[in-house]
Amino acid sequence: MRNLILILATAFFLTFLAGQANAHVVEFNPERTVKLIGTIYGSMAKDVARKVRSLATGPLDKPINLFINSYGGSVSAGNQIIDAIEGAQYLGYKVRCGVGMYAMSMAFTILSQCTERYTLANTQLMFHPARIMTRRPILAPTLSYWADELERINAEIRLTLLLSMEMDSHLFDFHFDKETIWPAHVLATKIDPNWLLVVKDFKGVANVHEEPRRFRFFGKKKNTAKTGVQGAERITPDPPVEIIGVPTFSN
């Protein structure tokens, strides 16, 4: 009898350990995973949003996965991706987001709107105020308008993140303005414990540490005809003024 109890207890313990090990690995079905790699701008954001919407047509029990490695980018472009995420959630889909290396600025705001969020321990995360970039001279009335618009957008970003993360507002404001780069395992201790899940690995993601491209928002497009490389280092957006969410070092 004692041996039987010992055998059952050992089996239970091993099952528990296996469960704990599996809890540290999250699986993303490649057929239902959209990648957001690199700086967020017009055509790239449209493509990501289109793919998210295309996956919001199958069975509701199959989540949509978004895998992020990005320093951020255009606020208006990133909002297109958020609209697609919220549309899928409205239909009843779970949108799970994973981050391998970076989710900064606008990419972090996108991460905040997912149903579930997963990172590695040393994934770098950052939230901060947006900024204005321009490719042509602007007059005082235009500058005044964009200054007011920037304040409005930053207030929206702040409220969106605070409500989502449930972080102490004084702590949030300090690091928001300071532009702190957080290792994910540290940030996870400062917020709602269920908001961010730190895992050991992503199963089903081919290149977890895919390096995001950096480019300048303004300047001539790089000629890719000879190289065949898609995604120029300099990409000119349509508007003369762009509200962006990227760290200073990435632009």
pLDDT band, residue 194 (cuts 50/70/90): very high
| Alpha-carbon gap, residue 150 to 153, rounded angstroms | 5
- Of 120, 118, 124, which Cα lies nearest the Cα of 63? 118
| Alpha-carbon gap, residue 161 to 113, rounded angstroms | 9
Which residue reads 């540490």 in tokens? 209
pLDDT band, residue 211 (cuts 50/70/90): confident
Give me the mean pLDDT over the 136-165 stretch.
Answer: 91
Write the DSSP assignment of 57-79 as a string of letters: TS-TTS-EEEEEEE--EEHHHHH
Residue 233 makes CB contacts below 8 A (sequence gap 6+) with: 213, 214, 215, 216, 222
Percent share of the chain, pLDDT over 70: 76
Q: Give domain limits for the chain.
A: 27-250
> Where is 245: in which H helix or E strand?
strand 241-245
| Alpha-carbon gap, residue 197 to 118, rounded angstroms | 5
Are 119 and 89 in contact by the 8 Å Cβ rule? The answer is no
Q: What is the dotted CATH code of the domain comprising 27-250?
A: 3.90.226.10
Other residues' Cβ atoms within 10 Å of the Cβ of residue 244: 24
Predicted pLDDT at 222:
47
Are 181 and 121 in contact by the 8 Å Cβ rule? The answer is no
| Alpha-carbon gap, residue 189 to 77, rounded angstroms | 30
- Can you give the pTM of this predicted structure? 0.80
> pLDDT digit string (tens) for 215-236?
555 454 444 444 333 333 333 3
The stretches of the chain forming alpha helices (DSSP H) are 2-22, 42-55, 75-90, 106-112, 140-165, 169-178, 184-187
